[in-house]
Amino acid sequence: MAKLRLTVNGAPSNIDVDDDTPLLWILRDQLGLTGTKFGCGVGVCGACTILENGKALRACQIPAAEAASRSFVTIEGLSPDVSHPCQRAWIEEDVAQCGYCQAGMIMSACALLREHPEPTDQLIDSVMSDSVCRCGTYPRIRKAIHRVAAEMREKKIAP
Amino acid sequence: MKVSRRDFVRTVALGTAGLVVGFNSRNILAGASGSQFSPNGWVKIDIDGTMTLTIGKSEMGQGVRTSLAMLLAEELEADWTRIKLVQATPSPGSDLGTGGSDSMRSSWKPLRQAGAAAREMLAAAAAARWKVDRASCEASHGAIVHTPSGRRLEYGALVADAAKLPVPGNPPLKNANDFKIIGQRTARIDGPDIVTGKARYGIDVRVPGMLHASLERPPWQGAKVKRMQEEKARAVTGVRAVIKMSRGIAVVADTTWAAIKGRTALAVEWDDPPKNAFDSEAHLKRLEAASREIGFITRKEEPPPGTAAVTKTIEATYRYPFYAHAPIETMNCVADVRGDRCIVWAPTQAPERLQKQVAELLGIAPAKVEVNITLIGGGFGRRLAVDYALEAAEISGAAKAPVQLLWSRSDDMKHGHFQAASVHYLSAGFDAQGTPVAWKHTKAGSFHNISPLDPKEVQDTAWYQDWSWGAYDVPYAFPAIQTAYVTVDLPVKHGPWRAVFAPSSVFAREAFIDEVAHARESDPIAFRLEMLRGTDVIKAGSTTIDRRRLRRVLETVRDKSGWDGPVPKGHGRGVACNAYFGHTYIAYVADVVIDKEGNVRVERVVAAVDCGLVVNPIGVEQQMEGGIIWGVSSALKGEITFRGGAAQQSTFADYEVARMRDTPEIAVHIVPSDLAEPFGMGEPPVPPIVPAIANAVFGATGKRVRRLPIRPKDLA
């Protein structure tokens, strides 16, 4: 057991945890942030995607020892009231079916749009194919990403 | 309050001032009070105007919470923003459970009746208060309005009076022309919770004092532990117990990670499987041999006198593999066994089966098992089985604490209730003029392990038909038809999957009808339409097929897809259609492109669907898109194989499913229907998509796809 200091959604934490504990389980079991989902535990499904400095990371692949002193954003940190452009677009395009993978999808989309404010379909395919949805919401995820891009272009804002 | 047995709704006071109307899904609705009544759901209107709908259907992505609320809101003239949803729990005599694409069909009448009854009682209460004629009062947007004077009372102000009134025996239901909510594009009620991370699935259940468990299961049936490092597991920080139990060895710990780590440290070595342990290649050979047997005849149409003799026959064998459900939320369950009681929180499609089996396991009465149904991160039929809840209950009982059992992805892949493999042998006979006059389809498949075999059923045609939807109900007008089912034992767990048992049969039937069209040098759509002439409505077993509806969806995809348009070299276009249990009719045109290595990509799918009355068009579109992408997975991605009795796949890396890059452009056309009731949409989109893709591959390559999934090496 070691003390781990990290910041999640702007709030600093100081917790006792084994060095090898994946960040996913720290978020879910110790910080009570269950919006980040477990899907495979080996980094191939994207359900646990979170952000650090706007970049997408797999929370199941970050051991506690590597998470120390870093600052992460989870789905709960985007907005609690659906005000984030990605959350809004997800509602407007009626993306979710079971919804389980969507937190990871939204976080991946945020990272994609930050780096490429106007992604092509090809780029969306390439980046978003790191995540799995079994309900088959992909066509609507693509539309939602384009919708956010269009909004950013119109309002000249960054995601 | 007098309620005769023929009355179907009844009010009760549930401790608070408010109006409560109960209903159940069998169309026979009774009062919510007293021992005679087991509501599957009820509507409660509080004095603050909040309308709470308690529903007995599980939400697993099919949008049932939204569409059921729409039915209620329509008849109740409710304010949509003030509807709250609560999940029902099993009670003696209740009939919960979600499967078979049945929720809308079975809820359509009772839920609207409940809403209408509440509306009529509220209107009567308002009329009495104002001392006016009921006919001069109208329900609108969560209130009763006295039309001549414009006076208005919100429902909340009327519930105390309304609760004292008798329940109308047969409240008037609205005409379809007057619908304001049914048929409207309605956003999913859980959408905001999903995009903010607030939606709670089974895996998100947290109970005070809850421990976490990971379970090491025997890799093959009957496997015994050779050795394991129990001390090393106990030495992991946070591990509380290592429990040897009937279903494996459980590691119980303070956190999920400690449980996973403890299980890894346990390093269980299992003994070697026997030489004759289950092997899917060998099983496929057994199925193939069985497909040549006569089997149990599920349908036989004798050719009318004067039918020309068969002078030429074509035949083909289609092989269908094992598939996993692979929902993204793995199996999980929280159980809290205390003395002679147990509380369960589970993402389940079968809460009553779960309650009954957990009660049997613990040796207590079902009423002592409380089952709380959570949101489900993908069901697809997997969660009709309750194995994970039994495991959780056994672990909680041994650990004497509430325990959350979480399956790893590998557990989920290896211990599924798989879609079973089958082999289909088909043949068609032509007369001397080349007219097709005979059709034969024999399916060799495996019994369903979910329910034990009843000896009475072994001679029951309907029972065999149940395992061969899509085969015995062939819609085409061959003068002679023979379909049969051959049972082949299967020692690994299997069960319903999305579209239950239909996908394999419809794949074989729709691929082979294409072969027949080709043999006759006919256009595949024109040929199907030709074979759907004659009697418009036919019966096959308990299935009624309206060929007009099937023709209409076929004509729609023909016209919308530019079917006759040019197809570039290396590309192919294919068609398939199906009448799902005679309820929902779907046709697809798929366009594929194939590279030099034999990799298939589905570029475009044009779809037409007739599901009767459409409750939520968004829901219909979503299910079509999802069903098509599900089919892309089974046509082109992973299969489950067994060696030494064990499934070989363990993650999405070796059991691939469709991803964004595999997703075709999809156009869904909802064919207007004059039917007055809705049919299901969760399963029907699945069966015809794989044959549409397979037929497109033939168009591109001239090679018939007779086994799944399609492998590049077969096409290169």
- Domains in chain A: boundaries: 2-77, 79-155
**How many other β-carbons are positioned within 10 Å of the β-carbon of residue A92?**
16
pLDDT (0 to 100) of residue B431 = 97
The answer for B714, left when phi > 0, alpha when psi is -120 to 50, beta otherwise, is alpha
Which of A44, A73, A98, A102 to probe by mutation at the B interface, max B CB count within 10 Å? A98
Q: What is the DSSP string of A25-80?
A: HIIIIIS--TTSPPS-SSSSS-TTEEEETTEEEEGGG-BHHHHTT-EEB-HHHH-S
Beta strands in B141-195 (DSSP E): 143-146, 151-154
Please indicate, yes or no, whether residues B252 and B387 belong to a single structural domain of this protein: yes
Third-level CATH fold of A79-155: DNA polymerase; domain 1 (1.10.150)
B227, part of any domain: yes
Question: Which pLDDT score is estimated for B32?
Answer: 39
Q: Do A96 and B59 touch (CB under 8 A)?
A: no
Nearest C-alpha of chain B: how many angstroms from A142? Answer: 8
Q: Has residue B7 been placed in a domain?
A: no
In chain A, the residue whose alpha carbon lies closest to the alpha carbon of B654 is: A44
Asked if residue B444 is part of any domain, the answer here is yes
Do B253 and B162 share a structural domain?
Answer: no
Percent of chain A clearing pLDDT 90 (strictly above): 96
Token readout for B513 is 């009808």
Distances (CA, A) of B220 to B217, B249, B266, B493, B495: 9, 14, 18, 11, 18
Can you give the pLDDT at residue B462? 84
Contacts of B628 in chain A (CB under 8 A): 136
CATH pick for A2-77 out of 3.40.50.720, 3.20.20.370, 3.30.70.1140, 3.10.20.30:
3.10.20.30
B207 and B192 within one domain? no
pLDDT value at residue B14: 44
Contact A98 B375 (CB under 8 A): yes
B7-16 confidence digits (pLDDT tens)? 334 444 344 5
- Is the sign of the CA dihedral B395, B399, B400, B403 positive or negative? negative
Q: Looking at the structure, do residues B177 and B255 belong to the same domain, yes or no?
A: no
- Contact check, Cβ <8 Å, B409/A102: no
CB contact under 8 A, B197 and A34: yes
**Residue of A78, A91, A98 with shortest CB distance to B192:** A91
Those residues whose C-beta lies under 8 Å from the C-beta of residue B608, and which sit 6 or more positions away, are B552, B553, B554, B556, B557, B560, B586, B587, B588, B668, B669, B670, B671
pTM of the model: 0.95
| DSSP letter for each residue of B293-337 | S--EEEEEEPPPTTPPPP-EEEEEEEEE-BB----SS--EEEEEE
C-alpha span between B516 and B477 (Å, rounded) = 13
**What span, in angstroms and rounded, lies between the C-alpha atoms of B293 and B287?**
10
C-alpha torsion sign, points B140, B142, B146, B152: negative
Find where tokens 């342990």 sit: B277
Contact B328, A101 (CB under 8 A): yes
Summary mean pLDDT of chain A: 96
Tokens of B510: 């729709």
Contacts of A133 in chain B (CB under 8 A): 328
Residues in chain B closer than 8 A to A29 (CB atoms): 212, 255-257
The position carrying tokens 């090491």 is B216
Verify that B216 and B314 share a domain, yes or no: no
**Interface touch A99/B628, C-beta < 8 Å:** no
Q: Which residue of A has its CA nearest to B656?
A: A132
Q: At what angle do helices B502-519 and B689-701 cross, to 10 degrees?
A: 30
Task: Name the β-bridge partners of B225.
Answer: B270
Q: Which residue do the tokens 């004292």 mark?
A: B164
B522 & B467 share domain = yes
Run of H or E including B590: strand B584-594
Q: Which residue of A has its CA nearest to B59?
A: A98
Instruction: Give the total number of structural domains in chain B.
Output: 3
Domain membership flag for residue B356: yes
Are A35 and B191 within 8 A, CB to CB? no
Regions of chain B short of the pLDDT cut 50: 1-15, 26-38
Looking at B165, B196, B227, which one is the last position of a domain? B196
- Whether residue A100 and residue B618 make contact (CB cut-off 8 A), yes or no, is no
Residues in chain B with CB shorter than 8 Å from the CB of A32 are 206
- At B7 the pLDDT is 33
Residues in chain A closer than 8 A to B204 (CB atoms): 34
Residues B628, B682, single domain; the answer is yes
Q: Which of B196, B211, B226 is the last residue of a domain?
A: B196
What secondary structure does DSSP assign to B66-89, as a single string? Answer: HHHHHHHHHHHT--GGGEEEEE--
DSSP lists the bridge partners of residue B607 as B588, B668
* Beta-carbon contacts of residue B575 (< 8 Å; ≥ 6 apart): B514, B524, B525, B528, B554, B557, B558, B563, B587, B588, B589, B590, B692, B695
Best B255, B630, B660, B666 member to test A by mutation, with max A CBs in 10 Å, is B660
CA distances (Å), origin B347, targets B40, B160, B360, B444: 18, 36, 20, 33
pLDDT in tens, B108-130: 988 899 899 999 999 999 999 99
B247 occurs within a structural domain:
yes
3-state secondary structure of B287: helix
Backbone angles phi, psi at A42, to 5 degrees: -125, 15
* B318, B388: one domain: no
Task: Report d(CA A88, CA A70) in Å as an integer.
Answer: 28
3-state secondary structure of B648: coil
* Contact between A138 and B328 using a beta-carbon 8 Å cutoff: no
Last residue of a domain, one of B174, B196, B218: B196
B-chain residues within 8 Å CB-CB of A80? 196
pLDDT at res. B1: 30
pLDDT at A159 over 70: no
State which amino acid sits at residue A66: E
Q: What is the pLDDT of residue B17?
A: 60
- Separation of alpha carbons B633 and B278, rounded Å: 25
Give the residue numbers spanning the domain of B118: 18-196
Of A79, A100, A124, the CB nearest to B196: A79
Residues 6+ apart with CB under 8 A from B684: B101, B499, B578, B580, B583, B584, B586, B609, B611, B627
Predicted confidence at residue B453, as pLDDT, reads 62
Pairing mode of beta strands B51-55, B83-87: parallel
Helix (H, G, I), strand (E, B) or coil at B690: helix
Could you tell me which chain A residue has the CA closest to the CA of B667? Answer: A139
Partner residue facing B660 (CB), from A76, A96, A125: A125
Searching chain B, which residue's CA lies closest to the CA of residue A107? Answer: B195
- Mapping DSSP onto H, E and C, the string for B484-527 reads EEEECCCCCCECCCCCCCHHHHHHHHHHHHHHHHHHCCCCHHHH
- For residues B161 and B216, state if they share a domain: no
Produce one character per residue of B561-599: b if its CB has 16 or more CB atoms within 10 Å, e if not: bebeeebeeebbbbbbbbbbbbbbbbbbbbbbbbeeebe
Residue A121: is its pLDDT beyond 70? yes
> Which CATH number characterizes residue B96's domain?
3.30.365.10
pLDDT at B4: 32
Closest CA to B578 of B591, B587, B568: B587
pLDDT value, residue B25: 52
| Token representation of residue B357 | 């089996």
Q: Which residue of A has its CA nearest to B377?
A: A100
Interface test with B, best of A93, A100, A127, A143 (most B CBs within 10 A): A100
Q: Note whether B371 and B430 are same-domain residues.
A: no
Residues B76 and B216 in one domain: no
- Least CB–CB distance from A47: residue in B328, B625, B657: B328
CA distance, residue A63 to nearest chain B CA (Å): 11
Q: Give the chain B residue whose CA is nearest to the CA of A94.
A: B187
Say yes or no: B207 and B189 in one domain. Answer: no
Measured in angstroms, the CA of B316 and the nearest CA of chain A are apart by 32
Position B1, amino acid: M
Nearest to B409 among A40, A79, A106 (CB): A40
Contact yes or no for A44 and B212 at CB 8 A: no
Task: Please tell me which residue of chain B has the smallest CA distance to A98.
Answer: B61
**Min Cα separation B661/chain A (Å):** 5
